[in-house]
Amino acid sequence: MSTNLHPMLNVAIKAARAAGAIINRAALDVESVRISQKQVNDFVTEVDQAAEAIIIETLLTAYPGHGILAEESGSEHGARDSDYVWIIDPLDGTTNFIHGFPVYCVSIALSVKGKIEQAVIYDPSRNDLFTATRGRGAYLNERRIRVSKRTELKQCLISTGFPFRPGDNFNNYLRMMGDVMQRTAGLRRPGAAALDLAYVAAGFADGFFETGLNPWDVAAGSLLVTEAGGLVGNFTGEADFLEQRECLAGNPRIYGQLVSILGRYSKFASAGEKAAVRAEAQADRVTLAIDGPAGSADPAGDAVPGQPT
């Protein structure tokens, strides 16, 4: 497969591996900077910026007329009006990286006239390289990958991301998670959306959903999923999702079942569906007020196990 790589994909792989080398070197030092939160933040910012700089330098050296959209520097580099725009996340999963939890990656995608045409996701701690070119399939370490063949949600492993940004509707997310948890074999939160999508493409997970994501979180992963035979869109199943901060992916059968569960939580849901979700949330609050919080003493007055007494 490597001899037939699209030349632009080859350059993206070179850029991703160069960034991965910086990240791997920094991972050896992360323990020594955990003295204060400020030092940790400064360190991660430095790693992010160094990884992004080498990606941009590699891409623009090869294609000086291309545009750049990057997490750290936005669109301040590259051409402003090019049909070719590289969408870059130099280190997705920074919280994992800070803790030495080895789930983080480099994500690079090329958009041509608004369509993702090339994708690279590189996991430097495992040396896993996911690649895709539109129309040519998706690969992990040069072996073709496909989405899973599972058709029953109860057998499926679904990944997600938890809301942590100001303004996120945390209660809404808990309801979504509850709806999915009760119908599946398991819900996972690895902590790097780009890798979550790559894992759906490889069949390691059967589906993925998250809100609040930026284009650089999902651009490369979305092409991997579709080239591996999966579907990706927003919670209502619309394929034009990149700027909508709402992402759902899965194999075709599971994707459809997840849309039927999560569609009503979408910001694009009908007014009736949104009203039903609000009514259920209100009913839950009333029930909680009547019954009291979980973990209170039982009627006999004995302390519930696991609760402070």
Residue 242: the pLDDT is 85
Q: Which range, of 83-87, 243-247, 276-280, averages the lowest pLDDT?
A: 276-280
Mean pLDDT of 38-51: 88
pLDDT in tens, 157-194: 999 998 776 666 788 889 999 999 999 999 999 999 99
How far, rounded to the nearest angstrom, does the alpha carbon of residue 18 sit from its chain's CA centroid? 22
Residue 272: the pLDDT is 64
Residue 286: the pLDDT is 55
Percent of the chain with pLDDT over 70: 83
Residue 304: the pLDDT is 35
Mean pLDDT of 258-265: 94
How far, rounded to the nearest angstrom, does the alpha carbon of residue 66 sit from its chain's CA centroid? 25
Residue 296: the pLDDT is 41
Mean pLDDT of 259-286: 75
Mean pLDDT of 260-281: 77
- 252 vs 261: CA distance, rounded Å: 15
Question: Strand pairing of 143-145 and 67-70?
Answer: unpaired
Residue 270 has pLDDT above 80, yes or no: no
Residue 58: the pLDDT is 98
Hey, what are 272's tokens? Answer: 């009736």
pLDDT in tens, 193-231: 999 999 999 999 999 999 989 999 999 999 999 999 999
Residue 47 has pLDDT above 90, yes or no: yes
DSSP the chain: -GGG--HHHHHHHHHHHHHHHHHHHHHHHGGGGTT-HHHHHHHHHHHHHHHHHHHHHHHHHH-TT-EEEETTTBTSSB-SS-SEEEEEEEEE-HHHHHHT-S--EEEEEEEETTEEEEEEEEETTTTEEEEEETTS-EEETTEEE-------GGG-EEEE----STT--HHHHHHHHHHHHTTSSEEE--S-HHHHHHHHHHTSSSEEEEES--HHHHHHHHHHHHHTT-EEE-TT--S--TTTTEEEEE-HHHHHHHHHHHGGGSTTS-HHHHHHHHHHHHHHHHHHHHH--TTPPPTT-PPPTTS--
Mean pLDDT of 25-43: 79
Q: How confident is the model at residue 302 (pLDDT cuts 50, 70, 90)?
A: very low
Q: How confident is the model at residue 295 (pLDDT cuts 50, 70, 90)?
A: very low
- Domains in the chain with CATH codes: 2-145 (3.30.540.10), 153-265 (3.40.190.80)
Mean pLDDT of 31-53: 83
Mean pLDDT of 274-282: 68
Q: How crowded is residue 163: how many other Cβ atoms within 10 Å of its Cβ?
A: 18
Q: How confident is the model at residue 283 (pLDDT cuts 50, 70, 90)?
A: low
Q: How crowded is residue 75: how many other Cβ atoms within 10 Å of its Cβ?
A: 12
Q: How crowded is residue 156: how many other Cβ atoms within 10 Å of its Cβ?
A: 24
Residue 120 has pLDDT above 90, yes or no: yes
Q: How confident is the model at residue 42 (pLDDT cuts 50, 70, 90)?
A: confident
- Phi and psi (nearest 5°) for 86? -85, 125
Residue 309: the pLDDT is 31
- 241 vs 236: CA distance, rounded Å: 10
- 46 vs 192: CA distance, rounded Å: 19
Q: How confident is the model at residue 94 (pLDDT cuts 50, 70, 90)?
A: very high
